[in-house]
Amino acid sequence: MTAISNRYDFILVFEVTNGNPNGDPDAGNLPRLDPETNKGLVSDVSLKRKIRNFVELAKGGEDGFHIYVEEGAILNEKHRQAYKALHPDDAKLDKAAKLNPKDDEEAVKLRDFMCMNFFDVRTFGAVMSTGINCGQVKGPVQLTFASSVEPILPLEISITRMAATNEAEKKQKAEGDDSNERTDNRTMGRKHIVPYGLYVAHGFISAKFAERTGFSEADLELLWQALGNMFEHDRAAARGEMASRKLIVFKHANALGNAPAHQLFDLVRIGRNIDGEFRPVDDKRIGNEPPARKFSDYIVEIDRANSPEGVEIIEKV
Amino acid sequence: MSYGIRLKVWGNHGCFTRPEMKVERVSYDVMTPSAARGILEAIHWKPAIRWVIDAIHVLEPIRFQSIRRNEVGQKAPAGKIKSAMKRGNLAGLQVLVDEDRQQRAATVLVKPAYVIEAHFELTKKVGSDDNEGKHLDIFNRRAGRGQCFHQPCLGTREFAAHFELIPPDGPLPECEERDKTPDLGFGLPRDLGFMLWDIDHEAPGRPSLFFRARLEDGVVRVPPPGSPEVLR
């Protein structure tokens, strides 16, 4: 497969309604917050996880579209059992796991093998301890932290479960002062939600790195598809309703690019929709307006007139 | 004769990890010369040239933030890949993230912005068609247009760096008047302690080289290669 020959930069705009887009392990799974601005954050790795999951769903382990960094159960484990039954000398190969590649040439071979077979290695790269040349694969696709357009207000929702986990918990409850029939077997839990948040992530695709990993036009198309649909297949109790709202792609006419990325990102302005009128989010006048609770409370403007020469703006979603 | 360039770089976050605190990453206060070199190489580099960082200007107050993420603790083992190649079967090659979970905090810089002052030298690999003017032109043209080999980053790839060339006759951006505090070394030089200078990729074992960084009027002067200030 031939690699892509254009540089791309992109903006992904996604929303969350009554859900937690990305919990902070440091803060008891509260939605991530920038402590200085109170804007919500979603880490790059969280988004990459969803892309991987989508590709796995869409391609189902087709040749060349395996996922290296997998989540949860693996069906391949079964295949291995079958394989082991056929080739009992497999154990020898397992022992060889401590060897490093003999030379650079072999390291390149290993790298190419990983890139060819695994979509996520080809796209995001991977660290491979191949000893001699550190064997790092830098992928062409780079994502940044997504940040919400306006400060978010995380809410803590207490919930109850009408059962206890085990006998001990039940006993503990019964010994407490509020022991009555109704609360006996109940446990309480907490959910953290963001009532509404519109998040923006920036992404970069280097055509030069794509050459090295073989990231092709077909892979690119799959990536766009994943960015547009990944939340549709990531429903969970914690997530609430999440959706990709806009995917704005800047396609440069050549491999190195025709404009600085920040200049392109500045072409997209997101403001509040006040009676059909665009107001920047830092406008003091919106302070008295009710908080945004849906996508139509925002306006996304693309300044196509000032788009630099050699850059094509494509709206994928 | 050296040909200097000046590049402004900035971003939302940056993480120039201290080697002694790399498990739960803690960033240096200021971009390291090796990170600055990486940014320049992301825009233009050829084996014929070597970037040398002269100074790093700090344009924003130094502030930190903590971010904890779920990470994977494992690297791809070469041996396993090799055996999978031999077998022609991918079974067992993937990493199970749930089973190799590591939660790591990173103490990262908030809104860093710098000016990198640098020049390049020609190396032993210089060919007949390489000369200083050519590489300087390529760099200036690319940086001026926002072109790059890959988008540079501030330490780690999730913190993308935006960049802008400062033309040779253009004024040098300075930090704001109110930020000219002892924190950035105004009035009295601020000692930043030992800081990574770069990694010696030529020597066996790739040792790290360090220098004593001082922030003086918002500028860290970087000792040139081979200077006695560069410590092993």
Mark yes or no for CB contact B162/A261 under 8 Å: yes
Q: A48-57, B1-10, B97-106: which has the minimum mean pLDDT? A: B1-10
Mean pLDDT for chain B overall: 89
Nearest Cα neighbor of B162 from A259, A37, A41, A38 is A259
Mark yes or no for CB contact A69/B94 under 8 Å: yes
CA distances (Å), origin A59, targets A52, A144, A152, B93: 10, 25, 35, 18
Question: Residue B226 pLDDT > 90, yes or no?
Answer: no
- Rounded CA separation B201/A278 (Å): 53
Amino acid B1: pLDDT: 41
Mark yes or no for CB contact B146/A43 under 8 Å: no
Share of chain A above pLDDT 70, in %: 82
Q: Which residue of A has its CA nearest to B148?
A: A256
3-state secondary structure of B169: coil
Residues of A in contact with B79 (CB under 8 A): 96-100
Question: Residue A160 pLDDT > 70, yes or no?
Answer: yes
- Rounded CA separation B159/B149 (Å): 17
Task: Measure B148 CA to nearest chain A CA, in Å.
Answer: 5
3-state secondary structure of A19: strand
- Rounded CA separation A17/A90 (Å): 50
A187 and A160 Cβ atoms separated by less than 8 Å: yes
B224 and B52 Cβ atoms separated by less than 8 Å: yes
The answer for residues whose C-beta is within 8 angstroms of residue B94's C-beta and 6 or more apart is: A66, A67, A68, A69, A70, A74, A76
- Rounded CA separation B156/B104 (Å): 15
Amino acid B177: pLDDT: 87
For chain B, the maximum distance between any two Cα atoms, rounded to a whole number of angstroms, is: 66
Q: Which residue of B has its CA nearest to A106?
A: B82
Tell me the mean pLDDT in the region B180-208. 90
Tokens of residue A131, six digits: 């000893």
pTM listed for this prediction:
0.82
Q: Name the residue with higher pLDDT: A41 or A285.
A: A41
**What are the pLDDT digits (tens) for B54-73?**
999 999 999 999 999 988 88
A93 interface with B at CB cutoff 8 Å: yes
- Rounded CA separation B39/B161 (Å): 8
Tell me the mean pLDDT in the region B91-95. 76
3-state secondary structure of A77: helix
| Number of other CB atoms surrounding residue B201 within 10 Å | 7
Question: Residue B139 pLDDT > 70, yes or no?
Answer: yes
Which of B89, B94, B160 is the closest to A68 by Cβ?
A: B94
- Highest mean pLDDT: which range of B32-41, B123-132, B169-178: B32-41
Task: Measure A53 CA to nearest chain B CA, in Å.
Answer: 12
The type of residue at A209 is F
Amino acid A98: pLDDT: 39
Amino acid A251: pLDDT: 96
ipTM summary value: 0.75
Tokens of residue A141, six digits: 């696709």
**What are the pLDDT digits (tens) for A176-218?**
655 555 556 778 889 999 999 999 999 999 999 999 999 999 9
CA distances (Å), origin B213, targets A115, B55, B112, B196: 40, 11, 17, 9
Residues of A in contact with B85 (CB under 8 A): 109-110, 113
Q: Encode A229-298 in three state secondary structure.
A: HHHHHCCCCCCCEEEEEEEEEEEECCCCCCCCHHHHHCCEEEEEEECCEEEECCCHHHHHCCCCCCHHHE
